[in-house]
Amino acid sequence: MKKQVCKVVFPAAGLGTRFLPATKAQPKEMMPLVDKPIIQYGVEEALASGCDQIIIVTGRGKSAIEDHFDVSYELEKMLEERGKTDLLAIVRQISEMIHIAYVRQKEAMGLGHAVLMARELVGDEPFAVILADDIIDAQVPCLKQMIEIYNETGCSVLATQVIEGKAISSYGVLDAKPVPGKWNGRLFEVQNLVEKPKVEDAPSNLAIIGRYILTPAIFEMLDSTPLGAGGELQLTDGLKQLLKKEKIYGYTFEGKRHDTGDKLGFLKATVEFALKRDDLGAEFRQYLKTLEL
């Protein structure tokens, strides 16, 4: 019987240079969208998708992530004494949410290298990777949609999104053909992958987004892949090796993706998430209307 996807790896050891100076002493994964750190959105998506084993790949200066998901006795005691039961519940809910394992990437040697660091904790089973920067607002969690595809195909699945114009050059891009059938044109069989192509060289407008279901064979591939662009071990290069052995699918998920690793994307997501909040939305909307735009 096919093994189920239970483990989710969160690579969170990157340097976050696009958000300097905010990320000089603070992990970008801890930057809040309204009042919740971006990585918590990803962890909640994993849980809502039925994955209860979380592995976070951290690096230097990332201890705030561990503290965030840990118990904070002093804070809980203080909130209890002051009778702040609502806040106490929010704080407790985070540490009670789940058990998280941490593994360290000593040097930021690329996304592929970060994933490889989780090899022992993942073992010989399929697993998911979530890049916390990509927050996907969806009725059915994006990861859950992808797990459904994995359960049918038994193959690795990459989340994809159509990106128009020049912006495609910032992504890994798929050369892929649509799979006919019940998938409403959303499923593609990957023929090749190209990392950050020039617009004129892009094989399609299907960009790889920060959600992956991977078979454990990826570890062997990454282990034998030489360092690529920027002296980093690229996940895309490992996937190209994997493609020689196994089928890989691309899946254009249903839902809205916010690229919070980018300043403009982060601002847009903040506005949209704030507008949706029961406690803030109405007042915030009124405020926005008063701005002379």
Q: How far is the CB of 32 from ligand UTP (least distance, A)?
A: 16
Q: Mark the segment that binds ligand UTP (CB under 6 A) among 44-52, 89-97, 108-116, 155-163.
A: 108-116
Do 66 and 74 contact (CB within 8 A), yes or no? no
Scanning the structure block, which residue is given the tokens 């407008």?
205
Residue 22 or 280: the one with the smaller Cβ distance to ligand UTP is: 22
264 belongs to the binding site for ligand UTP (CB under 6 A):
no
111 belongs to the binding site for ligand UTP (CB under 6 A):
yes
Give the C-alpha distances (Å, rounded to integers) separating 293 from 264, 273, 290.
17, 20, 9
Do 123 and 101 contact (CB within 8 A), yes or no? no
39 belongs to the binding site for ligand UTP (CB under 6 A):
no
Scanning the structure block, which residue is given the tokens 């910032």?
170
109 belongs to the binding site for ligand UTP (CB under 6 A):
yes
Size of the site for ligand UTP (CB under 6 A): 21
Nearest partner of 207 among 230, 236, 240, judged by Cα: 236
Which residues, 124 to 143, sit near ligand UTP by CB under 6 A?
131-133
> Applying CB under 6 A, which of residues 12, 65, 128, 157 lies at the interface with ligand UTP?
12
| Distance separating alpha carbons of residues 6 and 125, to the nearest angstrom | 9
Give the C-alpha distances (Å, rounded to integers) separating 198 from 194, 204, 249, 265.
10, 11, 23, 22
Residue closest to ligand UTP, measured at CB: 14
237 belongs to the binding site for ligand UTP (CB under 6 A):
no
Q: How far is the CB of 112 from ligand UTP (least distance, A)?
A: 9
Q: How far is the CB of 21 from ligand UTP (least distance, A)?
A: 12
Residue 79 or 135: the one with the smaller Cβ distance to ligand UTP is: 135
Q: How far is the CB of 65 from ligand UTP (least distance, A)?
A: 10
DSSP letter string, 52-117: -EEEEEE-TT-HHHHHHHS--HHHHHHHHHTT-HHHHHHHHHHHHS--EEEEE-SS---HHHHHHT
Q: Using CB under 6 A, list all residues that contact ligand UTP.
A: 11-19, 57, 105, 108-111, 113-114, 131-133, 261
